[in-house]
Chain A
Amino acid sequence: MSTVPLTHILFVSTALFFIGMYGLFTRRNMITMLMSVELILNSVNINFVAFNKYLYPQKADGIFFTIFIITIAAAEAAVAIAIIINLYRTHKSIDVDDATELKW
């Protein structure tokens, strides 16, 4: 436990964040973009828990922030999937390049 410093956990979460960012930039399919956003949110959660555990072990604020972020991420995913299903009904495609009605 003590042999792994805090910075290595931060390295893992940073790498996960930028993997999610790479996916968000390259993917054009809405569901896979949503998956990338989930990866980014998870990397933030790892940061909160690691900071709480290593720097402020007598408090529990990071735990609560993680719980609330997980809750909001669940709500966000549900709303996003409802929007995706509705978009598929009208456009027969969930590619973001095909939905251009609000472009101009």
Chain B
Amino acid sequence: MDTSAIIFYAIAAFTLVMGLMAVTSSKIFRSAIWLLLSMVGIAALYFWMQVEFIAAVQIIVYVGGIVVLIIFSIFLTQQAGTKMPGPSLKRIIASALAALFGLTFSFNLINHYGFSSAASQPFSLSVSDIGVQMLSTTEHGYILPFEVVSLLLLSAMVGCIVIALKPPKENVERTVAAPENITVNITEPEEENVNVNIREPLIITEV
């Protein structure tokens, strides 16, 4: 076992322990902090796998964006220091059994399949390669998902603003008197069929 393997197992243990504390802590703010540390551990795992771009994106989006958003929503919705009521013992046992069963099942499946790793050439991907392939319109380009995701982000942003807007106090109904006797000067049309789009209450007098 060399240094790289030791680093991997340390990162994995850190990530898993932080994730476990994030889902079991009874104080919600601490839970968010453990989640943040778990995300940092996953970013370290990406660094270990030498995909530095994904690691940077992970830190920027998850640690800097989503977890901060979660912490803000905790501050907006509840007292951060109080303890949450824990789940009932029956629910804990049932959930732990379900998770353990799934875990052993998946472990067994992965272990038996084995994944004969025959990666002959080393994996190296520069950021410029990612950028070129992301925006290329050729066969292996990703321009269409890129555009679709940009539309999705725009619609999610507009939807968030609409959902989280403060509702107006009350609908004050104001009746506005319709203007009467407005004279509209229309010059004589040369052709017969001319559509003039003027709404009903206006009174049209031809000059």
Contacts and interface: CB of A to CB of B under 8 A. Distances in A.
A10 B103 CA distance: 11
A86 B23 contact: no
Contacts, number: 216
A47 to B, nearest CB: 10
User: Interface SS of chain B: helix, strand, loop or mixed?
Assistant: helix
B130 interface: yes
Interface stretch (B155-163, B170-178, B187-195, B198-206): B155-163
Interface in A24-82: 25-29, 31-32, 34-36, 38-39, 42, 45-46, 49-50, 52-55, 57-58, 60, 63-64, 66-68, 70-79, 81-82
Given A42-B39, A63-B130, A22 B96 contact: yes
Interface of B: 1-2, 4-5, 8, 12, 15-16, 19-20, 22-24, 28, 31-32, 35, 38-39, 42, 45-46, 49-51, 53-54, 57-58, 61-62, 65-66, 69-70, 73-74, 76-78, 84, 87, 91-92, 94-96, 98-100, 102-103, 106-107, 110-111, 114-115, 117, 119, 121-123, 125, 129-130, 133-134, 142, 145, 149, 152-153, 156-157, 159-161, 163-164, 166-167
